[in-house]
Amino acid sequence: MSKITFMGAGSAVFAKNVLGDVMLTPALRESEIALYDIDPVRLEESYIMITALNRNINEGRARVTKHLGVENRKDALRGADFVVDAIQVGLYEPCTVTDFEIPKKYGLRQTIADTTGIGGIFRALRTIPVLSDFARDMEEVCPDAWFLNYTNPMAMLAGYMQRYTGIKTVGLCHSVQTCTRPLLRNLGIEYQEPVKERIAGINHMGWLLEVINGDGTDLYPEIRRRACEILDNPPDGFRDLVRLEYIRRFGYYCTESSEHNAEYNMFFIKDKYPELIERYRIPLDEYPRRCINTIARWNDERKLYVTDNVTHTRSLEYASYIMEAMVTDNAYKIGGNVLNTNHSLIPNLPAEACVEVACLVNRAGVQPCAQPALPIQLAAMNMTNINVQLLTIEAAVTKKKEHIYQAAMLDPHCASELSIDDIVAMCDDLIEEHTRGGWLPEYH
């Protein structure tokens, strides 16, 4: 019997997906499931939901416990085999609001702000200390557990955990398994399974390097042709124009959405060229809108989850498949975020970088698969983000403000819009606001 601890169990919909998947997996159905959160209301709602789910789809086989607050965190973790991390430090209010509103005062607009850029930097800085506490507790009470991280900014958090803690960990994202087939469908390309794909890069900027149809045909020539046709005359409602522009200019499609990638570079969100926002249909302030809508929807739909009738169908989330592979030794392939130690996985990216590559999972754990060097233009694009990731981790470890400034100065979006003085002043305002709210330790 395995023990699975879910950190941030108040994320009810995601907890339902992961833990519902666990209950529908024969090798995991009798697990002990420990729910942990710091919000008593959200924890109780998730406990009611998961308990009902256990009864409805699992005949009560699992043992479900709840653990509230930092003082009970070690009990939640004690003896765990798997720890799933899905926390958001600071939530929408106040921290996400801060991440958007202060940069706006300097003329810096964002779309999602959870991966890189100034929003991603500060999300990492307030989350790394919490993950450090998790790791310290795990090293004491479940040192052999696997830490399955779903929290953003993925590369910064997974990179920190892999370099500065003794915990076995892999970063997991939805974007790899939802990349190729939606692209083919959106371009109107008929395909035949099994489609062979190869993806490598970094989280949210992994590159679709090969797409081979089930009949052996290389689909990329047709992908490139149709991408250019759509860019020249976009259909009404088509929202993936940024990534199609990547295909036209850099030759390859990337894993994460256009609204994300619009802010990962210096090309699209530019005060001097406001027409680009309309041309590429870029949804500025998208993440705050999503947060507001999600909160409202949860208030309306809570009764559908916190109910005796809740049920579940197994999802495509990696977590249960990873646990199953490790417990049964039946191999499974994932796209995982792992350290590029000794340049062993992607040779033309830094050894300290957290890269996203295919990984084999079995009883031996997560085993990353080495890739050829990326095309030089793709490695260069990744490096613009890796620079920010590595300096943000350095800031979190050293507590030096200068590394926060340097991370922001090297961010392509910040640097293309603001002067050095404005970047430093913006960082100072964000540091002051976060420190005042207790979300950051003291920096010097």
User: Quick check: is 444 catalytic?
Assistant: no
> 122-154: per-residue pLDDT in tens?
999 999 999 999 999 999 999 999 999 999 999
Q: Provide the CB-side half-sphere exposure for 158 (13 A, CA).
A: 31
Asked whether the beta carbons of 232 and 239 are under 8 A apart, the reply is no
> 67-86: per-residue pLDDT in tens?
999 999 999 999 999 999 99
Asked whether the beta carbons of 123 and 152 are under 8 A apart, the reply is yes
- Tell me which amino acid residue 248 is: R
Asked whether the beta carbons of 331 and 322 are under 8 A apart, the reply is no
Residue ranges for the chain with pLDDT beneath 50: none
Token representation of residue 372: 């050829």
Out of 174, 343, 403, 444, the active site residue is 174
Peptide bond between residue 234 and the one before it cis (omega within 30 degrees of 0): no
For 419, counting Cβ atoms within 10 Å of its Cβ (0-12 exposed, 13-18 middle, 19+ buried), the class is exposed
Structure confidence at residue 305 (pLDDT)? 84
Structure confidence at residue 302 (pLDDT)? 85
CA gap 399, 300 in Å, rounded:
42
Residue/partner pairs of 225-232 with CB below 8 Å, 24 or more apart: 226/187, 226/188, 226/189, 227/187, 227/253, 230/187
Residue with tokens 């400034």: 405
Instruction: Please give, one letter per residue, the 3-state secondary structure of the chain.
Output: CCEEEEECCCCHHHHHHHHHHHHCCHHHCCCEEEEEECCHHHHHHHHHHHHHHHHHHHCCCCEEEEEECHHHHHHHHCCCCEEEECCCCCHHHHHHHHHHHHHHHCCCCCCCCCCCHHHHHHHHHHHHHHHHHHHHHHHHHCCCCEEEECCCCHHHHHHHHHHHCCCEEEECCCCCCCCHHHHHHHCCCCCCCCCEEEEEEECCEEEEEEEECCCCCECHHHHHHHHHHHHHCCCCCCCCHHHHHHHHHHCCEECCCHHHHCCCCCCCCCCCCCHHHHHCCCCCCHHHHHHHHHHHHHHHHHHHHCCCCCCCCCCCCHHHHHHHHHHHCCCEEEEEEEECHHHCCCCCCCCCCEEEEEEEEECCEEEECCCCCCCHHHHHHHHHHHHHHHHHHHHHHHCCHHHHHHHHHHCHHHHHHCCHHHHHHHHHHHHHHHHHCCCCCCCC
Token representation of residue 332: 């499974």
pTM metric for this prediction: 0.97
Beta-strand pair 365-368/354-362 = antiparallel
